[in-house]
Structure 1
Amino acid sequence: MHTVTLTKGVPDFREGQVSFDEDGHLERGNTPTVMNPNDKHALRTALQTKVRHGGRLSVMSMGPPGYGDVLGEAMESVYADELYLLSDRELAASDTWATAITIATGLQKLDETPDLVFAGFKTADGETGHTGPQACWCLDWPIITHVIALDVNEDEGTVRAKRLVEGDIEEIETVKAPMPAFVVADPEFEPTYRTAGDRLTLKDLRAETRERAKNHEEHLTTWDHADLNLDPDYIGLDGSPTIVSSVDPIPKAPAEREATMVNPGDEDGMNEVFDAMAAHAGGER
């Protein structure tokens, strides 16, 4: 069994250092990057599947070379066997459609067709939730969204899932689809390892992957648009029908506190510190 998890690096908005070019496009190479938080739900779903059914697990992303570190983090999280990065300048400034074309092509280039592809339900920078479903559409595979529980029948070649109906936690439906298929994990998904065998497998995979993740570059394959045989007119900015009319930079949060430096040897200064602390503690010195 072969599964693939899609992940993405997103700007670390906490840093307040998001960089845009003069046309309003995000400069990912000059912006601190972290793993998309919602992808972690997909990673947990993929890990549960690997623990229960074994097989090979890959992680794939599209982005600049620095995304290799995001993939390394994903390898350690999901105990992946191999990593794939789709990266070159021709892919820069892709919208969700151009990204989906690239990812679908990357999935087709793998030496073994995945049985399942896991995706997060949206990204922190775009919030569209388009890329996973669009990549699935390119491949003409079934897709199950808002998944909160998952089981695979390898003999039948099917996946059975419980999903929230339109994201409503109060309404759940059970669906079944043939593989290969896409699975979009919901934040409500909680992995379960009921048997002792599953828990022992999880422990063994964790120890094995920690060693592999130390040198994740050795397990990283990078493909550019030429490797994927992609026409530059259909990828990157030229292949993106989305038009960005304007971008408002994210300002740094204003400082709300002032700091006063006090030398411990300054008796009067330290008395002022104790007086201020006592007032908040409701006690006396």
Structure 2
Amino acid sequence: MFTLTLTKGVPDFSEGAVSFDEDGHLERGDTPTVMNPNDEFALKAALQTKIRNGGTSALMSMGPPGYKDILREGMESVYADELYLLSDREMAAADTWATAITVSVGIEHLDETPDLVFAGFKTADGETGHTGPQTCWGLEWPMITHVISLEAYPEEGVVRAKRLVEGDIEEIETVEAPMPAVIVTDPEFEPVYRRAEHRLKHRDLREETKARAESFEDHLTVWDHEELNLDPDYIGLDGSPTVVQGVDPIPKAPSEREATEIDPADEESMGELLDELGPHAAGRAEAGGD
């Protein structure tokens, strides 16, 4: 089997890492880039598929040259064999539509058609959840979304997956689709390795990839819009129909929190503190049982 996982770099939104200008707008150049958190579930699904079915796996991203580090990180996570970066200035500032067009053409440009393409639920910086489905539209393949578990059957040419119904964790349906297909993973996805041979293969692949990741650029292919035969009018900013009416600054958390200082030697204050915390401690003891 051959699988491809789509991944993207997003600003690091952890505390202290995000940089804003005086108007409260994100300054991407001064904010570190990390792998989109939701892509990790897609990577786990791709790795599970590789371990259970064998074959090769690849990663693809569209973005600036700095995304090479995101692909290297992804290679270490999914034990990928090959990396693909779609990158040049004509692709910059693309919305999800222009991104999906570029990525779908990139997939069609591969020497081998993937059996499965994995995508994350949504990105941390866009929150639209459009890119995976729109890429699938460009490929004209079947798609299964909100996937929480799956099994591929290469001999039958199908993939069977369990998915959440409209994001409801209480309702699950089983879906079958012919391959090639696009799989959009849900954050509830958890890989399962019940057989000893799968756990051993997981270990062996991890060791193999450590060595490969050290020279990841030897396994990296970079394509610009000319190599993909893409018209600049249909990609990047020029090819993006999305119109942004306005941007609201992200509210900053208060720099200080209210706190009450208590001197451990003050018996009265310590007594009041224990009286206040006592019910919470009792609740935890009750929940924990004997």
- Alignment of 1:17 with 2:9, yes or no, is no
Alpha-carbon contact 1:160-1:175 (below 8 Å) kept: yes
Alpha-carbon contact 1:19-1:30 (below 8 Å) kept: no
Paired-residue identity, % = 71
The 3-state SS of whatever aligns with 2:65 is coil
- Alignment of 1:161 with 2:143, yes or no, is no
The 3-state SS of whatever aligns with 1:13 is coil
Alpha-carbon contact 2:11-2:18 (below 8 Å) kept: no
Alpha-carbon contact 2:120-2:184 (below 8 Å) kept: yes
Alpha-carbon contact 1:147-1:183 (below 8 Å) kept: yes
Alpha-carbon contact 2:19-2:27 (below 8 Å) kept: no
2:106 corresponds to = 106
1:59 corresponds to = 59
Alignment of 1:67-216 (within 5 A): 67-216=67-216
Change (3 A) 1:18 1:196: farther
Alpha-carbon contact 2:115-2:180 (below 8 Å) kept: yes
Offset, 1:278: 6.2
Runs in 1 of length 4+ with deviation above 3 angstroms?
18-21, 26-31, 249-254, 275-283
Separation in 2, partners of 1:279, 1:236? 65
Offset, 1:215: 2.2
1:261 corresponds to = none
Instruction: Answer with 118-127 or 27-36: which moved more.
Output: 27-36
The 3-state SS of whatever aligns with 1:173 is strand
Separation in 2, partners of 1:211, 1:194? 27
Amino acid at match of 1:84: Y
Change (3 A) 1:64 1:251: farther
1:226 corresponds to = 226
Change (3 A) 1:53 1:205: same
Offset, 1:279: 6.6
Separation in 1, partners of 2:64, 2:45? 26
1:262 corresponds to = none
Separation in 2, partners of 1:199, 1:221? 30
Q: TM-score, normalised by structure 2?
A: 0.85
1:270 corresponds to = none
Amino acid at match of 1:104: S
Change (3 A) 1:188 1:18: same
Offset, 1:244: 1.2
- Alignment of 1:239 with 2:244, yes or no, is no
The 3-state SS of whatever aligns with 2:111 is coil
Separation in 1, partners of 2:151, 2:263? 58
CA-to-aligned-CA distance 1:32-89 (integer Å, 9 cap, x gap): 2111000001000001000000111000001111111111111101111111111111
Change (3 A) 1:16 1:140: same
Q: TM-score, normalised by structure 1?
A: 0.87
Change (3 A) 1:85 1:91: same
Amino acid at match of 2:248: D
Gaps in structure 2 of 5+ consecutive residues: 272-290
Offset, 1:205: 0.3
Separation in 2, partners of 1:102, 1:219? 21
The 3-state SS of whatever aligns with 1:46 is helix
Separation in 2, partners of 1:249, 1:220? 37
Change (3 A) 1:246 1:49: same
The 3-state SS of whatever aligns with 1:112 is coil
Separation in 2, partners of 1:69, 1:183? 24
Separation in 1, partners of 2:266, 2:235? 62
2:37 corresponds to = 37
Amino acid at match of 2:208: E
Separation in 1, partners of 2:89, 2:22? 16
